[in-house]
Amino acid sequence: MARILIVDDEKHIRLLYSEELKEEGYEVFVAADGNDILDRIEKDRPDVIILDIKMVSSNGLDVLQEVRNRYYNLPVILCSAYGSYKVDVKSIAADAYVVKSSDLTELKNKIAQVLEASVPGKE
């Protein structure tokens, strides 16, 4: 089953998402901020990252650029309480954008979609 790394500074969000996504059968890892994200990716080897934007000690949009520059095809879903960052040019580097909600249906659908996305590389 796919491995998901949740990066969010709110403990209850990490807990809620972990529980729900584990129930869906995913293997879940959590991080409280985006510092050292590249090391976390090396260690946890996620198939998808769920990334908060407004975090106390890091900015998710900057973390996203760091991830994208190193891991070109690693799916990242921005998950924020604010819809306004969707139009920030930096968010274009994300695979999907989800506004936080207690109903995780949209997030789960996006996870399934980004895992299903297939873009062949060089033959």
Partner 1 sequence: MKAFEENPADVKRADIVIGIPSYNEAQNIAFPTMQAALGLKEYFGHMDSVIIDCDNCSSDGTGNVFMNTDTKGIPKIYLSTPKGVRGKGNNIKNLFRKALELNARAVIMVDADLQSITPRWIKNLGEPLFNDFAFVAPLYVRHKYDGPVTYNIVYPLSRCLYGRRVRQPIGGDFGFTGTMAGVFLKNELWDEDVSQFGIDAWMTTIAMNEGVPICQAFMGKAKFNEARDPAVDPGPAFRQVIGTVFRLMEAYRNKWKAVKWSKPTAIFGFGFGEVEGPPLVTVNREKLYHRFREGFSSNWETYRSILSFENHQKVREVASLDMDHFEMPVSVWARTLFDFAVCYHNRAMDRTRLIEMLIPLYYGMTLSFVNKTEGMSILQAEEFLEDMCLTFEQTKPYIVDRWDREKGVA
What residues make contact with partner 1 under the rule CB under 8 A? 65, 68-69, 72-73, 75, 86-87, 89-90, 92-95, 113-114, 116-123
Report the alpha-carbon distance of residue 117 to residue 14 in Å, rounded: 25
Minimum Å distance from CB 54 to partner 1?
17
Minimum Å distance from CB 11 to partner 1?
29
Minimum Å distance from CB 49 to partner 1?
13
Report the alpha-carbon distance of residue 24 to residue 45 in Å, rounded: 19
Would you call 10 exposed, middle or buried from its count of C-beta atoms within 10 A (0-12, 13-18, 19+)? middle
Tokens read off for 112: 């399934």
When the beta carbons of 14 and 110 are compared against partner 1, the nearer one is 110
